[in-house]
Amino acid sequence: MNLLVDIGNTRLKWVLQHSDKMDSFGAVVHNQDDFSAALISAWQLLSVPDGIYFACVGSIELKQLLITIIEQLWPNCPIQEIHTKKYSHGLSNAYLNPEKLGVDRWLVMLGAFEHYPAPLCVVDLGTAITLDVIDEQGQHLGGMIMPGLTLLKQSLSKGTADLNFCSEMHKQGLANYTQAAIYNGCLCAVKGFVEAGLRQTTKTSRLILTGGDAEFLADTLRLDAVVDAELIFKGMALLSSGQSES
């Protein structure tokens, strides 16, 4: 049994990987004051893992804190950080410097390419929104990045004097009050971003959505998409299972 850990921009998420399934999903927001205590409290309930695999797009300090907590809870447990590669499991990285591609994007693509028929347009809807396109041969064609839905709305409140941040949902369409106008403008920006990504290939790509806002945006924007919340862990499981890289 392995513990798979994803340190994202906002949350630290984990899952237990058994030989044929994943369970015990959990998450903790890592910018909260009691982050360490909350994580230790949750992990004390887990069985001792055989190994721990983690991917991190957070700070070096956060990564070191994770390692310290692991060594405190399970002193003899092997720890391995996952990094982006040029090629793995049939997927080729398009980046000129492969290691510069965020490991979260790499893992999401690996999970998608392993479990869904290509060509694929893979969109991770989290704090940031990333979009990557993969052709039938497993060649990553490149991608795009934009602020996530919450960041889009926050940017207006921080950059203007009279527009306050609001997390409420509103009726879609042309609005007759400012909060709804902001809400709909941000939704349209996300939808246009996804549609632009889908237009980058000559063949119709299957749209795969993951990340914290995936379910909401798939429903709200009426996107013809597969929503897979476990995609990053499916990519991690592929690498941690010891399967061949070819």
User: What is the SS3 assignment for 108?
Assistant: helix
- Token pair of 66, please? 């994770």
Do residues 101 and 54 both lie within one domain?
no
Do residues 66 and 145 both lie within one domain?
no
- Which range is least confidently modeled, 87-96, 172-181, 205-214? 172-181
Measured over the CA atoms of residue 133, residue 183, residue 28 and residue 59, the dihedral's sign is: positive
Q: Under a CB-based contact definition with an 8 Å cutoff, are residues 98 and 73 in contact? A: no
For 159, other C-beta atoms within 10 Å of its C-beta total: 8
Q: What is the pLDDT of residue 162?
A: 52
**What's the pLDDT tens digit per position in 43-56?**
999 999 999 999 99
Q: Look at residue 126 and tell me if it is in a domain.
A: yes
Q: Under a CB-based contact definition with an 8 Å cutoff, are residues 240 and 88 in contact? A: no
Mean pLDDT calculated for residue range 30-36? 90
Q: Under a CB-based contact definition with an 8 Å cutoff, are residues 95 and 141 in contact? A: no
Identify the CATH number of the domain in which residue 27 sits: 3.30.420.40
Q: Look at residue 245 and tell me if it is in a domain.
A: no
Q: How far is CA 54 from the centre of its chain?
A: 13
Which residues span the domain enclosing 25? Answer: 2-81
| Dist. CA 185–CA 131, nearest whole Å | 19
Percent of the chain whose predicted confidence (pLDDT) is above 90 = 72
Number of helices and strands in the chain (H, E): 7, 12
Of the residues 33, 61, 81, which one is the last residue of a structural domain? 81
Catalytic residues: 104
Burial readout 165-188 (b: 16 or more C-beta within 10 A, e: otherwise): eeeeeeeeeeeeeeebebbbebbe
Do residues 36 and 137 both lie within one domain?
no
Of the residues 61, 81, 101, which one is the last residue of a structural domain? 81
List the one residue out of 100, 213, 199 whose CA is nearest residue 147.
213
- Band the pLDDT of 244: cuts 50, 70, 90: very low
| Dist. CA 182–CA 109, nearest whole Å | 31
Do residues 92 and 183 both lie within one domain?
yes
Question: How many domains is the chain built from?
Answer: 2
Q: Look at residue 93 and tell me if it is in a domain.
A: yes
Of the residues 63, 81, 99, which one is the last residue of a structural domain? 81
Q: Look at residue 109 and tell me if it is in a domain.
A: yes
Do residues 133 and 215 both lie within one domain?
yes
Whole-prediction pTM value? 0.91
Do residues 151 and 49 both lie within one domain?
no
